[in-house]
C-alpha cells in the first residue's frame, strides 16, 4: 500500500493576477478523512480539483496512490477517484440504477457485475431496491444526494473527493447524510477529502482539518489539536464558531445540551 493516498507538493495555481494556490504541500494517508475549510476564495475547491485533474496546477506535482497524476490520462485518473458535489449532476433521463452504473459501463464491466454493484450500493446508501427504477425527478434532495454518493462509489474507488456535498440540504437531512457517509468511509476503508463551509460538519466528520487562507495552508491537524494549539485569529474564529453556536442553542433550549 502507498504510504500516502494523496500527496501534493508545492502546488501553485494562478488565475490572472490572483494566486488561488501559492505553494501548497499536503500529504494524506490512506484511510484519512480530511476536511478543507476556510473563507470563500481561499483555494479549497481549486485544491480539491487538482487531485483528480479538473484543475491543472501551474507548478508542483500531484501523486495519487504513489503515482504521478500528471502521467496518467485524465479520464483514467478520474475513474479511479469518486467525486461528489453539491449540484449532484444526475442525468435526468436515466433511472437511478442507470445513473449509478455509468462508470462501470464505461469500464466494460459485465452486466451481471454491474447489476450486483448497483443493488449493493443502493443498500449501502440506505435506498430501497425499487428506487433503482425511478427517475431523479421523483426523488427528494436527500435521496438524490445519496444516489450521487452511490454513483461516485460505483467503480470501487479508494479515494473520494466531496465539494460541499450536503450544503443544499435541510439541516436534519444534512446531519443524517453526513453521519451515514462517515460510516461508509469507515466501512469501505476510503480516503476522503471534503470541502465544507460548515465548521461544525468538519469537526464532527473529519479526522483532520486543513484550513486555507489566500491560497496557503495556515493550520492542519485534528479538531481537538487545532482548538488547543492554533494562535491564528482567523483559525481561532473558525474553530470557536461551533462552540458559540452550541452555547447559544443550549441557552435558547433552556440549558439542554
Per-residue pLDDT, 145: 92
In tens digits, what is the pLDDT along the chain, a chain of 257 residues?
458 999 999 999 999 989 999 999 999 999 999 999 998 889 999 999 999 999 999 999 999 999 999 899 998 898 899 999 877 789 999 999 999 999 999 999 999 999 999 999 999 999 999 999 999 999 999 999 999 999 999 999 999 999 998 877 888 888 899 999 999 999 999 999 999 988 889 999 999 999 999 999 999 999 888 877 777 777 777 877 777 777 777 788 876 54
Contact predicate 121/154, CB 8 Å: yes
Per-residue pLDDT, 150: 95
How wide is the angle at C-alpha 60 spanned by C-alphas 42 and 214, nearest 5°?
Answer: 15
Per-residue pLDDT, 255: 61
Nearest to 161 by CA among 96, 105, 78: 78
> CA-CA-CA-CA torsion for 14, 15, 16, 22, nearest 10 degrees?
-20
Give strand ranges (E) for 29-89: 33-37, 59-64, 67-68, 81-85
**Domain residue ranges of the chain, discontinuous segments joined by +:** 1-72+191-257
Per-residue pLDDT, 2: 57
Residue labelled with grid coordinates 492542519: 220
Say which residues have a Cβ less than 8 Å from residue 38's Cβ, sequence separation at least 6.
Answer: 44, 211, 212, 213, 218, 238
Residue labelled with grid coordinates 482548538: 227
H-helix or E-strand containing 106?
Answer: helix 102-106
Q: What is the DSSP letter of 160?
A: E
Q: What kind of architecture, by CATH, is found in domain 1-72+191-257?
A: 3-Layer(aba) Sandwich (3.40)
Per-residue pLDDT, 234: 78
Helix 171-187 vs helix 141-153: crossing angle, to nearest 10: 20
- pTM for the full predicted model: 0.90
Say which residues have a Cβ less than 8 Å from residue 159's Cβ, sequence separation at least 6.
Answer: 5, 6, 51, 64, 65, 80, 81, 82, 190, 191, 192, 193
C-alpha distances (whole Å) from 131 to each of 95, 111, 143, 153 are 9, 19, 10, 17
Distance CA 164, CA 198 (A): 9
Residue labelled with grid coordinates 457517509: 181
Per-residue pLDDT, 254: 79
Q: What is the DSSP letter of 56?
A: -
Q: What is the DSSP string of 7-65?
A: EEEEEEEEETTEEEEEEEEEEE-TT-EEEEE-STTSSHHHHHHHHTTSS--SEEEEEET
Amino acid at each position: 500500500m502507498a504510504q500516502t493516498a494523496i500527496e501534493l507538493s508545492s502546488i501553485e495555481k494562478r488565475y490572472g493576477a490572483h494566486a488561488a494556490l501559492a505553494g501548497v504541500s499536503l500529504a494524506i494517508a490512506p484511510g484519512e478523512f480530511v476536511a478543507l475549510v476556510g473563507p470563500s476564495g481561499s483555494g479549497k475547491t481549486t485544491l480539491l480539483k487538482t487531485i483528480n485533474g479538473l484543475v491543472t496546477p501551474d507548478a508542483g506535482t500531484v501523486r495519487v496512490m504513489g503515482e504521478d497524476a500528471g502521467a496518467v490520462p485524465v479520464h483514467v485518473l478520474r475513474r479511479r477517484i469518486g467525486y461528489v458535489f453539491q449540484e449532484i449532476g444526475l442525468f435526468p433521463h436515466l433511472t437511478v440504477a442507470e445513473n449509478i452504473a455509468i462508470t462501470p459501463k464505461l469500464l466494460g464491466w459485465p452486466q451481471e457485475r454491474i447489476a450486483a454493484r448497483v443493488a449493493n450500493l443502493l443498500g449501502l446508501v440506505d435506498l430501497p431496491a425499487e428506487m433503482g427504477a425511478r427517475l431523479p425527478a421523483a426523488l427528494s434532495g436527500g435521496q438524490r444526494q445519496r444516489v450521487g454518493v452511490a454513483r461516485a462509489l460505483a467503480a470501487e474507488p479508494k479515494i473520494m473527493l466531496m465539494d460541499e456535498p450536503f450544503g443544499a440540504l435541510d439541516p436534519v437531512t444534512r446531519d443524517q447524510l453526513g453521519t451515514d457517509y462517515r460510516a461508509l468511509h469507515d466501512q469501505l476503508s476510503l480516503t476522503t477529502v471534503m470541502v465544507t463551509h460548515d465548521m461544525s460538519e468538519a469537526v464532527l466528520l473529519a479526522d483532520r482539518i486543513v484550513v486555507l487562507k489566500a491560497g496557503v495552508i495556515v493550520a492542519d491537524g485534528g479538531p481537538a489539536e487545532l482548538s488547543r494549539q492554533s494562535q491564528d485569529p482567523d483559525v481561532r474564529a473558525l474553530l470557536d464558531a461551533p462552540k458559540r453556536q452550541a452555547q447559544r442553542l443550549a441557552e435558547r433550549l433552556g440549558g439542554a445540551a
